[in-house]
Amino acid sequence: MAEPTAVICGATAGVGRATAWAFARAGYRVALIARGEQGLHETRLQIEASGAQVLALSVDVADAAALDAAATRIEAELGPIEVWVNAAMATVFGPVATLSAEEIARVTEVTYLGSVHGILAALRCMRPRNRGTIVQVGSALAYRAIPLQSAYCGAKFAIRGFIDSLRCELIHDKSAIRLTMVQLPAHNTPQFDWARNRMSRRAQPVPPIHTPDVAARAILRAARHAPRELWLGAASFKAILGTQLMPGLLDRMLARQAWDGQLTAEPAPSERPDNLFEPVAGLHRTDGRFTEQAVPRAVSLSAATASGLAVGAGALLALGVGLLLGRRRR
């Protein structure tokens, strides 16, 4: 289809903004969905300068009715939605004991329910045509939870469960609608400057850190080929496969390493705005403050391929151990 339409939720910063650029360069008409008017205006102007047709809509993904209405308007103004990308997220850095129920609820409403709302809106549009691709931006944290991000990890675990259930239903219905999830490693995005932080030091992504363009390319690939899951980066492979093989050991390792690993030596500002409940002006950009550490590439494999390689490596290891033990007996 010439100039198909892609919807990007969470499109004005970080991975979402880089993804909007990637789809525009790939020839899509792009619908930008986010809360902040300033970020939407700046992102729309940048992408329009490339010659792409853009529609920017101020919507909180936690509002199911507003997101569904946005889908209707997108189809009316840009054309049938072929790809829907859920990239909106919110988080709070801090131990569970420091979080309020209200904060946990808001992270859940944006990161989990916001994705569910997007999926429901996309399905309503796609089902009559029996085509389209829904891309869920996930994380290695959808498999391996870490300290200080309990609300975010819980939401990412939840959306993976929702996706798996929906996938079974689409297969049962013999639907041609495609569903794919991209599990990301750490990226250099502004979230570490505007996320709510209960710690005394500034937050940082756990290295290795990647540029947002790395994620955007993987998301575009997932939209084109729709693997069941796409795992991005060696750190994601280790986290996902490691937690399947030795979860207790990883619990202890993360208890020792992941606490300080998510914090810089800089003290956190005593007062600064955060984007948990309201948009933050002035920080809507693609990259965060870790540009010097960010690498521009990462290996990516479908979950099926990665798991197959892991099983093969395990079988070879077992065979090697068996041969060694056999020689010792002889």
End-to-end CA distance of the chain: 66
Helices (H), 108-149: 114-126
Interatomic CA distance for residues 98 and 93, integer angstroms: 9
Catalytic residue among 28, 112, 143, 152: 152
How far is C-alpha 128 from the chain's CA centre?
A: 27
Q: Which H/E stretch holds residue 6? A: strand 5-9
Determine the residue type at 26.
Answer: A
The rounded distance, in Å, linking the Cα atoms of 103 and 198 is: 11
Q: Which residues contact 53 (CB under 8 A, 6 or more apart)?
A: 3, 29, 30, 78
Establish whether 152 is a catalytic residue.
Answer: yes
Query: What beta strand segments (E) does 67-216 contain?
Result: 81-86, 92-93, 133-139, 178-184, 186-187, 196-197, 201-203, 209-210
Would you please indicate which residues are annotated as catalytic (active-site) residues? 152
